[in-house]
């Protein structure tokens, strides 16, 4: 039987189904297979023109060689199971793409194991949610470069487009694509937490109602903060509950969920020795939010500090403070994520081009933002830059915002409004910009109690020395 399709999709959940439709829209002849047959029948009934594979062997048989199969199943064991079943039928040179949010260490393991069988495995981050998958996601593929070349025309077709091209690039070998996607999600956590904290100050600190907050976010979306997350935030504040006519956002329980990519980002940063406190603060904030019962009980014992009413005439100045602080803190969060990618790229010799990463994050993905234009330019000027805040333009934004940012964090601390991500970003900035830190004392203590040695400022060349501190 001649091959009827040139692209296969395994898994017809929301993301898999939308990507299958997107690939078909861009000229691919797509064969599909889903473990639960009824879901596949429903998909095929609603969308004629797809090749109906009855089982994995049928899917493989339907595809032109070298085959290309996108696996969109839940990250974890299901990916191993599908890869194993596929590999029993595939031929050397065929490509399996894992488009789920897989842990990059799993991707490294799978890539190695499948390469031994002559199969090529591409771990590909996909961002943009349902709508992105259907209309144009940001794609972060990693694996063997030849495998990417085989996929490139199709991936460029389905990816989101910006004036800087299609939002897809070859990230690097083995786990580079999934690592990049993981860090994207880490930045997403920080960005969302910063927006939540800004909302809290607008609401409790300045006293704005939901409609006024929606207007503020709409206004911010016209300037340097312009981004997908700010845009949807403005919309969220306008939505009313059908039954009660109340603002729906007020009816949402304040307990944030998480699926794990934010935690993985923090774990990877700890392992690679990169400080990402803005992202870690966002993770902690979700954890604390989830402890609702205990918070409610504690709130009975610890009242808020006194908080004055902001006079109407001062409101705009206070809103501007939040705007500037948000911009500066956001630069810090992106800088931390990019530093983490740099560290992983060096540790695993992935050679990730961060200018390209900024470029493919400009469209399709959840953290798409105007700021990424400046980030792209910054890496265009200095490819190996460790800390993005060192860039003249981004650093200029932070310098300009700093007085407002400091005033905001200081006041919020005094008023008892928790701003963990704003504050963590500010203290990170104050650390990385300081030529002199108090860790001379830390070293002295370590040497005093454990003879761990230290280096003398007045003779660095001499290397580690030890002193008797406690005699
Ligand atoms: C994306 C999103 C997507 C998903 C997150 C949510 O880029 O399209 O990041 O991957 O919505 O995994 O993560 P949490 O459930 O951990 O918030």
Question: What confidence score (pLDDT) does residue 308 get?
Answer: 86
- Ligand 1 geometric centre to CA of 453 (Å): 45
Report H helices in 88-175. Answer: 104-116, 129-135, 145-158
Do the Cβ atoms of 330 and 194 come closer than 8 Å? yes
Query: Among residues 372, 353, 386, 334, which one has the least CA distance to residue 176?
Result: 353
Catalytic residue, chosen from 111, 188, 197, 321, is 188
For the Cβ of 127 lying below 6 angstroms from any atom of ligand 1, the answer is yes
* Phi, psi at 429, each rounded to 5°: -60, -45
Question: What confidence score (pLDDT) does residue 2 get?
Answer: 66
Question: What confidence score (pLDDT) does residue 1 get?
Answer: 58
Point out which residues pair with 126 in neighbouring strands. Answer: 139
Q: Is 271 among the catalytic positions?
A: no
Catalytic residue, chosen from 36, 84, 146, 181, is 181
Residue 324: half-sphere exposure toward Cβ, Cα within 13 Å:
20
Q: What are the Cα distances from residue 460, in Å, to 162, 206, 302, 464, 466?
A: 49, 51, 50, 8, 13
Question: Tokens 């063997």 map to which residue?
Answer: 144
* Phi, psi at 32, each rounded to 5°: -125, 150
- Ligand 1 geometric centre to CA of 404 (Å): 31
- Ligand 1 geometric centre to CA of 258 (Å): 8
Question: Tokens 């609401």 map to which residue?
Answer: 203
For the Cβ of 423 lying below 6 angstroms from any atom of ligand 1, the answer is no
For the Cβ of 76 lying below 6 angstroms from any atom of ligand 1, the answer is no
Question: What confidence score (pLDDT) does residue 289 get?
Answer: 98
CA 271, CA 258: separation in Å to the nearest integer?
21
Class of residue 78 by CB neighbours under 10 A (exposed 0-12, middle 13-18, buried 19+): middle
pLDDT of 127-178, one tens digit each? 999 999 999 999 999 999 999 999 999 999 999 999 999 999 999 999 999 9
Strand arrangement, sheet containing 120-127: 51-52, 30-33, 7-10, 68-71, 95-98, 120-127, 138-142
- Ligand 1 geometric centre to CA of 185 (Å): 6
Buried b (16+ CB within 10 A) or exposed e, 51-76: bebeebeebbbbbeebbbbbbbbebe
State how beta strands 95-98 and 120-127 pair. Answer: parallel
- Ligand 1 geometric centre to CA of 377 (Å): 27
Instruction: Cite the beta strand spans of 148-272 per DSSP E.
Output: 161-162, 165-166
For residue 246, what are its two tokens? 């109340």
> Closest ligand 1 atom to the C-alpha of 188?
9
CA dihedral 228, 24, 120, 146 (to 10 degrees): -80
Q: Could you read off the pLDDT tens digit of each residue along the chain, which spans 471 residues?
A: 567 999 999 999 999 999 999 999 999 999 999 999 999 999 999 999 999 999 999 999 999 999 999 999 999 999 999 999 999 999 999 999 999 999 999 999 999 999 999 999 999 999 999 999 999 999 999 999 999 999 999 999 999 999 999 999 999 999 999 999 999 999 999 999 999 999 999 999 999 999 999 999 999 999 999 999 999 999 999 999 999 999 999 999 999 999 999 999 999 999 999 999 999 999 999 999 999 999 999 999 999 998 889 999 999 999 999 999 999 999 999 999 999 999 999 999 999 999 999 999 999 999 999 999 999 999 999 999 999 999 999 999 999 999 999 999 999 999 999 999 999 999 999 999 999 999 999 999 999 999 999 999 999 999 999 999 999
For residue 280, what are its two tokens? 């870690």
- Residue 334, classed as helix, strand or coil, is helix
For the Cβ of 259 lying below 6 angstroms from any atom of ligand 1, the answer is yes
Point out which residues pair with 139 in neighbouring strands. Answer: 126, 168
For the Cβ of 125 lying below 6 angstroms from any atom of ligand 1, the answer is no
Class of residue 386 by CB neighbours under 10 A (exposed 0-12, middle 13-18, buried 19+): middle
Question: What confidence score (pLDDT) does residue 3 get?
Answer: 76
Residue from 19, 261, 357 whose mutation best tests the ligand 1 pocket (most atoms within 8 A of CB): 261
CA 230, CA 447: separation in Å to the nearest integer?
49
For the Cβ of 100 lying below 6 angstroms from any atom of ligand 1, the answer is no
* Phi, psi at 284, each rounded to 5°: -60, -40
CA 430, CA 413: separation in Å to the nearest integer?
17
- Ligand 1 geometric centre to CA of 178 (Å): 13
Buried b (16+ CB within 10 A) or exposed e, 293-307: eeeeeeeeeeeeeee
For the Cβ of 193 lying below 6 angstroms from any atom of ligand 1, the answer is no
Q: Is 156 among the catalytic positions?
A: no
Nearest CA to ligand 1 atom 11: 129
Q: Which domains does the chain have, with CATH numbers?
A: 7-174 (3.40.50.720), 181-432 (1.10.1040.10), 438-471 (1.20.5.320)
For the Cβ of 188 lying below 6 angstroms from any atom of ligand 1, the answer is yes
> Closest ligand 1 atom to the C-alpha of 101?
10
Query: Among residues 224, 188, 427, 214, which one has the least CA distance to residue 324?
Result: 224
The residue count for the chain: 471
CA 13, CA 40: separation in Å to the nearest integer?
10
DSSP 251: G
Question: What confidence score (pLDDT) does residue 290 get?
Answer: 98
For the Cβ of 339 lying below 6 angstroms from any atom of ligand 1, the answer is no
Question: What confidence score (pLDDT) does residue 409 get?
Answer: 98
Residue 326 makes CB contacts below 8 A (sequence gap 6+) with 194, 195, 198, 220, 225, 422
For the Cβ of 326 lying below 6 angstroms from any atom of ligand 1, the answer is no
- Ligand 1 geometric centre to CA of 262 (Å): 9
Q: DSSP string spanning 6-43?
A: SEEEE--SHHHHHHHHHHHHTT--EEEE-SSHHHHHHH
């Amino acid at each position: 039987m001649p091959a009827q399709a040139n692209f296969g999709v395994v898994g017809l959940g929301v993301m898999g189904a939308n990507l299958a439709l997107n690939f078909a829209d861009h000229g691919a002849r797509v064969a599909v297979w889903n473990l639960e047959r009824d879901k596949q029948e429903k998909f095929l009934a609603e969308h004629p023109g797809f090749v109906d594979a009855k089982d994995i062997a049928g899917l493989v048989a339907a595809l032109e060689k070298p085959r290309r199969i996108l696996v969109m199943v839940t990250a974890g064991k299901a990916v191993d199971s599908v890869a194993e079943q596929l590999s029993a039928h595939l031929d050397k040179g065929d490509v399996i793409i894992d488009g789920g949010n897989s842990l990059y260490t799993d991707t490294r393991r799978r890539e190695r194991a499948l390469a031994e069988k002559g199969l090529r495995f591409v771990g590909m981050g996909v961002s943009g949610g349902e709508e992105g998958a259907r209309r144009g996601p940001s794609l972060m593929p990693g694996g063997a470069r030849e495998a990417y070349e085989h996929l490139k025309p199709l991936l460029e077709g389905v990816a989101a487009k910006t004036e800087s091209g299609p939002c897809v690039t070859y990230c690097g070998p083995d786990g580079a694509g999934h690592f990049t996607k993981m860090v994207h999600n880490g930045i997403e956590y920080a960005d969302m937490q910063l927006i939540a904290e800004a909302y809290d100050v607008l609401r409790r600190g300045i006293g704005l109602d939901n409609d006024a907050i929606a207007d503020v976010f709409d206004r911010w979306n016209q300037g340097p903060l312009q981004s997908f997350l700010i845009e949807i935030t403005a919309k969220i504040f306008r939505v009313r509950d059908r039954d009660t006519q109340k603002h729906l956002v007020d009816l949402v329980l304040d307990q944030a969920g998480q699926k794990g990519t934010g935690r993985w980002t923090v774990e990877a940063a700890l392992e690679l020795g990169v400080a990402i406190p803005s992202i870690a603060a966002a993770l902690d904030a979700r954890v604390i939010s989830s402890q609702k019962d205990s918070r409610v009980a504690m709130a009975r014992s610890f009242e808020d500090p006194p908080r004055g009413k902001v006079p109407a005439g001062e409101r705009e100045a206070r809103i501007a403070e939040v705007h500037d602080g948000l911009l500066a803190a956001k630069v810090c969060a992106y800088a931390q994520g990019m530093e983490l990618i740099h560290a992983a790229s060096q540790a695993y010799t992935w050679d990730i081009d961060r200018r390209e990463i900024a470029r493919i994050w400009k469209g399709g993905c959840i953290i798409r933002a105007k700021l990424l234009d400046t980030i792209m330019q910054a890496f265009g000027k200095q490819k190996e830059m460790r800390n993005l805040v060192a860039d003249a333009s981004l650093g200029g934004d932070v310098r300009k915002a700093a007085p407002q940012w400091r005033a905001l964090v200081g006041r919020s601390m005094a008023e008892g409004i928790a701003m963990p991500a704003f504050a963590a970003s500010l203290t990170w900035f104050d650390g990385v910009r300081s030529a002199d830190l108090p860790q001379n004392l830390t070293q002295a203590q370590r040497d005093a109690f454990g003879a761990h040695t230290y280096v003398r400022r007045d003779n660095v060349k001499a290397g580690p020395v030890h002193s008797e501190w406690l005699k």
